[in-house]
Amino acid sequence: MPLFEDIVHRALSSPVRRDILLSISEREKYLSEIAGEIGKKPQTIDFHISMLVEIGLVGSRWKGGKKYYFLIEKRIIDFLREGKPVPPGARPKPPHEIVQDMWEDMKRRFDLLEKRLDEIERKLG
């Protein structure tokens, strides 16, 4: 199993993290609200939600002096409620894949540029 998929599955294997995702699946909530709903201390929720934010399953924003958390990809809820596999499009890309995609795009563009310069050189030379 690739490293990132392993991280996502480990993140979803925690009952607390699964409960957090289910809690914010319908609407965004702030830390104490999630903690009260799940029946855990805010410090515990903060620890677990930090991992979910870091891997890109949960986002946050400040509103009215409180930090609200929301689910970035709602299709993950199918996995949590019904045990369905997480669809590839619902898995956020890890940073190394983003950089790799960017590098491939730059390489393609440089190849096109080099080809165009060769054509111009042939015309001039």
In order along the chain (125 residues), what is the average pLDDT of each group of 10 residues?
62 84 94 96 94 90 96 79 59 69 90 94 89
pLDDT of residue 92: 57
Instruction: Choose which CATH entry (2.102.10.10, 3.50.50.60, 1.10.10.10, 1.10.565.10) describes domain 3-92.
Output: 1.10.10.10
Determine the Cα–Cα distance for residues 43 and 66; give it in Å rounded to an integer: 15
Query: What is the pLDDT at residue 21?
Result: 93
Q: What is the pLDDT of residue 18?
A: 87
In which residue are the tokens 């979803």 written? 12
Q: What is the pLDDT of residue 4?
A: 55
* pTM of the predicted structure, to 2 decimals: 0.61
